[in-house]
Structure 1
Amino acid sequence: MELLTGEPLALDLVNTRARLPSGADYDALDEVDDFHAWLERQSGRLTAPGARLGPPDLAAVRDLRGHVAATLEAVRQATPPPPGSVAALNEALRGAPAYPCMEARGAVLARGSRRDGTPLTRLLTELAEAALALLTDPNVGKVRGCEAPDCRMLFLPAHPRRRWCSPDLCGNRVRVARYYQRHKST
């Protein structure tokens, strides 16, 4: 399944769980190939893990996703976030902090950034940093759930009238259903 991407990275992580139009649940973090396809779609926002992550690694990413989702929901509801989720996110943030380094590019020195740690630790830290950026952004209260029936995707609307995660997918499905309801009795 092709998941929507393009929202803030933390929302894209939460949106790795979806409900298909058939009503079946889908989780891009259940299968290694689906997860790596999701990582590929995030290129430019995440550094490549450097190694293929396996099923045990997916459990750690699913766990982090759960903490991001729980904290995001608390923030959206203006309630205190679960202390365990805040602690888990802080632990991930400490896992592989970025540090500045000097890089030689021919005869020119440039400022770079590196992280130490395993591929999984680096990935979890980057995802936790994305969650920190979203959860502390003043616009986090504007995060909405898609209004299409059975869709659980979240999005940060650029326009206040946006109602669906995707106008082409969910928006079109809702419009077609409305059209069908109006015209089925004629």
Structure 2
Amino acid sequence: MQDTIGPDARLALDLALTVRHDGNGGVADDLADPAGLTAWVRAHPEAVPHADYYVADDAALAAVRDLRAAVRALFARAVRPAAPSPADAARLLPVPEALHRLNTAAARRPTVPELVWPEDADPQLRRNPVTGADDLTAALAQAAVAFLTGPHRHRLRACHAPRCVRYFLKDHPRQEWCKPSCGNRARVARHHQRHKAPSA
């Protein structure tokens, strides 16, 4: 029952997924330096106008990382009562601070409403950025607001496979893991736990 998600929801989820397991039991950060943010933005051209020419600096990196911490804290709230991602569990921002960071960032990019009414569909509201207002953190914050207030928030889950720190959208009722390899790792870990020799 996988349905497509809009670009805002995808952008918000992809921002959260810049924190991931490194394959060795640790956590990797795709936004560890300005070059990482530059590469990420260029791979997400919907984030800002002229993304192909975007070059991050230290200030942009700090702002996006602060916003990502807020988004991941709010994702952790969205998956309650389930546990948050293990990458966040010990260092989650308090929800009021996460909301303040997100809303403050979102307010930096003013938008104007536009009515879109295709011939074969209901009218829709689209918010377009005011010309020249292309602040990256504002665009990402608005994408996160759209995701958290949209229908896909209820499908959001934290993957609890060994070493995984990702959030994912549940596509079918029996899905427990973000991808098949995580399911395999979880089954192997459960098998080893059940068959572990009792200690002497």
TM superposition score normalised by structure 2: 0.66
Q: Report what 2:147 is aligned to.
A: 134
Contact 2:112 2:128 (8 Å CA) reproduced: yes
CA distance in 1, matches of 2:176, 2:150: 21
Q: Report what 2:182 is aligned to.
A: 170
Is 2:67 the partner of 1:64? Answer: yes
| 1:63 Cα deviation from its structure 2 partner | 0.3
| 1:66 Cα deviation from its structure 2 partner | 0.8
The higher-RCO structure (CA 8 Å, 6+ apart) is 2
How many residues of Structure 1 are paired with residues of Structure 2 in the alignment? 164
Contact 2:162 2:189 (8 Å CA) reproduced: no
CA distance in 1, matches of 2:151, 2:77: 15
1:1-186 map, 5 Å: 8-43=10-45, 45-47=46-48, 48-49=50-51, 50-77=53-80, 82-99=95-112, 113-115=128-130, 122-167=135-180, 169-174=181-186
Q: Give, as a single letter, the amino acid of the residue that structure 2 aligns with 1:135.
A: L
Q: Which segments of 5 or more consecutive residues in structure 2 lack a partner in the other structure?
A: 1-6, 82-93, 115-126, 195-200
| 1:113 Cα deviation from its structure 2 partner | 4.5
Contact 2:161 2:186 (8 Å CA) reproduced: yes
RMSD over aligned Cα atoms: 3.3
SS at match of 2:174: coil
Residue deviations 1:105-145 (CA, integer Å, cap 9, x gap): xxxxxxx94445675xx211111111111111244133111
Q: Which segments of 5 or more consecutive residues in structure 1 lack a partner in the other structure?
A: 1-5, 102-111
Q: From the superposition, tell whether residues 178 and 85 of structure 1 become closer, same or farther in structure 2 (CA, over 3 Å).
A: closer
| 1:21 Cα deviation from its structure 2 partner | 1.6
Contact 1:95 1:125 (8 Å CA) reproduced: yes
CA distance in 2, matches of 1:41, 1:171: 28
Residue deviations 1:29-54 (CA, integer Å, cap 9, x gap): 112222222223323x3234553111
Contact 1:17 1:27 (8 Å CA) reproduced: yes
Contact 2:159 2:168 (8 Å CA) reproduced: yes
Contact 2:41 2:54 (8 Å CA) reproduced: no
Q: From the superposition, tell whether residues 181 and 64 of structure 1 become closer, same or farther in structure 2 (CA, over 3 Å).
A: closer
